[in-house]
Amino acid sequence: MLHVSTLFVAGSANLDEHGAINATRIPMTWFEVDQVPLWAKVPIVLVVHAPAGGDYDPELHVVCKDPSGAPRGTLRASWHWPDEVDKASKYRCFTQELSFPIESAGEYTIGAYYDQQGKFELSTPIPITILLTQPPPVEGEGMPVAGEEVPVAGEDVPVTGEDVPVTGEGVPFAGEGVPVEYEDVPPQGEGHGG
């Protein structure tokens, strides 16, 4: 029986000459985008394994679902998978860009399924949050004016800049090297595992 060992979204991913995956910024759990709707492309890393003696011609689908649960993008992987001599199990690694439309902010999921519609799970889907970039507030609208004292209620709390990490710090967002690409039309065809 085919099992999913790993499924995640990376900042970037590719296969090397030995069939191993080189990936960066893993796992990517959220993306910040300037506008919706848009088309996104995200690198997917998938590692599967199976015991020897079966699963010689497997097929699976990586499906992205929107916050309502509707399928939005699919990659199909199928391959001939012979047993390896003197090994009880076999592994296969894939990396491919998954393209899907983003119609709204929210929590999308990406999972491995037996079918293209994403009805029969092969493994638990992973959540990917899509956030809309918030424009900076205009001076005078909720922001203190330079030089004004800001009242703080409660206990003394360290201020950013005093070795306190900022939420989301170090996590890139669209426009800062994250491979979220914008397209006017959806790509045609299906991706295939390598």
What are the tens digits of pLDDT across the range 131-171? 999 877 766 565 555 555 544 444 443 433 333 333 333 33
pTM for this prediction: 0.70
- 59 DSSP β-pair partners: 78
Residue showing tokens 């330079």: 146
Residue showing tokens 């509707």: 70
DSSP-H helix ranges across the chain: none
SS3 content of the chain, % helix, strand, coil (to 5): 0, 40, 60
DSSP single-letter state for residue 145: P
CA torsion sign, 142 to 147 to 152 to 156?
positive
CA count, 13 A, side-chain hemisphere, 115: 6
Distance between CA 190 and CA 122 in Å, rounded? 19
Sorted by where each starts, the structural domains of the chain and their CATH numbers stand as 3-132 (2.60.40.2550)
Distance between CA 79 and CA 92 in Å, rounded? 10
What are the tens digits of pLDDT across the range 66-113? 999 999 999 999 999 999 999 999 999 999 999 999 999 999 999 999
